[in-house]
Amino acid sequence: MNPFHYSKPDSVQDAVHLAGPASQFIAGGTNLLDLMKENVTRPEHLIDITGLPLREVRETEQGGLMIGALVSNADLAWDPLIEQRYPLLSQAILAGASPQLRNMASTGGNLLQRTRCYYFYDASVPCNKREPGSGCPAKDGLNRIHAIFGASVQCVATHPSDMCVALAALEALVHVQGRAGSRVIEFADFHRLPGESPERDNQLADDELITAIELPAAGFAQYSHYLKIRDRASYAFALVSVAAALDMTGPIIREARLVLGGVAHKPWRDKAVESFLVGKAVSRETFSAAADALLQHAEPLEHNAFKVKLARRAIVRALSDAALGGQA
């Protein structure tokens, strides 16, 4: 780890005023310190935000929840309000990382974790995300874990979060504060596709800090399911994951949310497929047709074509489990 300066501000205002291009905010540190040990990230200044008053989960006037950015992943997953009203989010969080890491990792930090692409993590090889313009060895290299949607010539990395897949399905809002003031970003707009600037994972400016995540009232508590497929039974990143949420009257789907993880540079949502499901009766054929429609746009690489088949089956199973009440 490179030497760095350390400060611990007491207020969000002070934190954003300390921030600059060579600084990083640190909360749980579970990804940042690892990246620093690997020399992937070498900040000159760490701004410890764990003293900020951002640890509350409170109800909003709109019937949703406002989650402070410093609420730990474990506390959030096991918060009674989340378990009862947003079980999809609870399931997704508990599918990620290990209990130790979930105790440390923060809500805001989960959004900002970086790809686990092997080439990004290896500072001795080129990577456009780590060193813009240096090249992408993953595109024609070992790309079993990489993207099948939304990749660019510059970058084929995936976003590693499970929690974010559920937040995308729930249409969460990201509250951020910068020196110029605060703003609210829709979850679908928060993370970026790599395009020509894969070094930028999201829309945050250098001085902007995530202060809260807001959940709308609709939690799809009755019919939702998070399905994660990985190389071992626990404690591994998703090869493919699916957040499925339905609102139903009898067997008829009134609203559908379908978001994939592990397949793109951001949680991958296809609204056309969600619209296709609305008004249809729950059936395996309907779910298969939805999966086919979503995956017809997949662009697999040399080693990850299996993800297309895997995603197809995972979508059908996640939607089926959601329709059964999410407990299957």
Partner 1 sequence: MSATTPDAAQSAFARHPLRITLNGQRRELEVLPWTTLLDLLREQLDLIGTKKGCDHGQCGACTVLLNGKRVNACLTLAVMCDGAELTTIEGLADGDQLHPMQQAFIKHDAFQCGYCTPGQICSAVGMANEGRAQTTEQIQELMSGNLCRCGAYSNIRDAIEEALPACRQQDGQGGGQ
Of the CA atoms within 13 Å of residue 2, those in its CB half-sphere come to 16
CB nearer partner 1, residue 44 or residue 189: 44
Q: How far is the CB of 43 from partner 1 (least distance, A)?
A: 11
Q: How far is the CB of 62 from partner 1 (least distance, A)?
A: 30
Cβ proximity of 133 and 153 under 8 Å: no
Residue numbers at the binding site for partner 1 (CB under 8 A): 1-6, 26, 29-30, 33-34, 36-37, 46, 48, 50, 74, 78, 97-101, 103-104, 233-235
Q: Report the alpha-carbon distance of residue 8 to residue 251 in Å, rounded.
A: 54
Q: How far is the CB of 118 from partner 1 (least distance, A)?
A: 13
Q: How far is the CB of 139 from partner 1 (least distance, A)?
A: 26
Residue 67's nearest CA partner among 186, 203, 174 is 174
Q: Report the alpha-carbon distance of residue 174 to residue 111 in Å, rounded.
A: 10
Q: Report the alpha-carbon distance of residue 76 to residue 83 in Å, rounded.
A: 9
CB nearer partner 1, residue 108 or residue 150: 108
Max CA separation in the chain (angstroms): 61
CB nearer partner 1, residue 33 or residue 248: 33
Q: How far is the CB of 152 from partner 1 (least distance, A)?
A: 29
Q: For residue 327, which amino acid is it? A: Q
Cβ proximity of 312 and 295 under 8 Å: yes
Coil vs helix vs strand at 3: coil
Q: How far is the CB of 111 from partner 1 (least distance, A)?
A: 18
CB nearer partner 1, residue 36 or residue 256: 36
CB nearer partner 1, residue 149 or residue 226: 226
CB nearer partner 1, residue 133 or residue 233: 233
Q: Fill in the DSSP letter of residue 8.
A: -
